[in-house]
Chains A and B, each alone.
Chain A
């Protein structure tokens, strides 16, 4: 293969040409400030409104409920810190999970340092949260439940509808980080009783550095950065118009034909999973066998380390990741893999391969050809690998 096989779609995706095309005029020709009264401003206001309508439609929300942000990270911060501080009089307890993205997890930890109490719910071996645990964790002073729709590392899809029903019954706000889920599973905020939802454009063939928070009408939200009255006075700062236009278009495209796309992705993913599990021993699939994103696969290869695996794959023209891209700067194994019960050394040897629309069967077969050799080479160098004794993993 003389081209690079991109299998890191959970980290980011390319911006689709039709998305970019809609964005371009807003850099040079249509550049007014949407807050301006004059014709320049009116024109960009129209584009902002259209992006808001498209985003709202994808979630079955009202356009007035969409707040554009600088990405999924800011939307998570705004959802969690913004609602917690605005509802402080009602209580100071938050429920979340142990496998959230750092954007949500660190927002909760920040609140903990500032007088809030946080319950981090455990997950089972597949990364699933038990709705019953959510119910039992709710106390008098609980103000917010924040549980991601689908996990970015292992792809496990949470029972969001059940959690939404519990939150509604108990009168607690429910936020979900749907950054990985948008475009992969339908998200109907009305039907699923979601009060706040985070999304990000760059995971769905939109530009980087732009996201949105859906906040149901009536949800009290404090500013997390201070300034002008943009976004109905919920997010200050002149709007990043080209990016927002791109987000609107990307989300519109991503939420069309979900099932047809998923069918293709699932077939490729399952070919990859069964191919790897049958050709590489001492290997396990992380995440749920069926309740997982159509494009996600995540493996642990016993006796070897993830970075060495990534470098070797890169030399063979395969772009992959080991755990979350955001986590790779730290030395600790992924908190998600530890939460599903993997020992440190097995969490170390993890590989995430996330598929996208442009991947082909031929590419998967190439991966299936080179990966077993790479794993074998690294194992032969590993002091932990002893062919006679076997491994700890049973699949």
Chain B
């Protein structure tokens, strides 16, 4: 039921782990199934220089976690914020309809990590980013 790309990212996930001195950490639970993802980012000059994740979840959750870290690594914060669960699923050559909700985990978690980074490092932007997450 999964594409080859999903299975590849599930069996050989990229960027698994933790970053001890991370600039931002996001942890979210999937509202639909209770699965959990945690993302750590390092940011230098507005660029995400390193990212690591840990995920408690199904195959699709692990694969979307993995590819989403690839998608944002080396990107600017603004670019990384453009990530959506759809773009994550597309990058994996699609997900079965019953598994689309799993890709929300990656989107939400990356946004949470960036939000955490902004809270800690760019005090002035707190208000705008907080608004974004509400929308």
Binding site for B on A (CB under 8 A): 303-308, 311-312, 315, 329, 331-333, 344-345, 348, 380-384
Contact = CB atoms under 8 A, between A and B. Distances in A.
Contacts of B13: 381
Interface residues of B, number: 24
Contacts of B11: 312, 315
Contact of A304 (B33, B37, B56, B101): B56
B59 interface: yes
Contact of A382 (B27, B55, B59): B55
Given A308-B10, A331-B33, A344-B34, A383 B59 contact: no
Contacts of B34: 333, 344-345, 348
A81 to B, nearest CB: 29
Contact of B37 (A307, A329, A383): A383
A253 B16 CA distance: 51
Interface string B19-63: 000000001000011111110000000000000001111110110
A315 B7 CA distance: 9
Interface of B: 2, 7, 10-11, 13, 16, 27, 32-38, 54-59, 61-62, 98, 101
20 contacts: A305-B56, A307-B59, A308-B58, A311-B2, A311-B10, A311-B59, A312-B11, A331-B101, A332-B33, A345-B34, A348-B34, A381-B16, A382-B54, A382-B55, A383-B27, A383-B38, A383-B55, A383-B56, A384-B36, A384-B56
A24 to B, nearest CB: 33
Contacts of A333: 34
A383 B61 contact: no
Contacts of A315: 7, 11
A308 B63 CA distance: 10
Contacts of A331: 32-33, 101
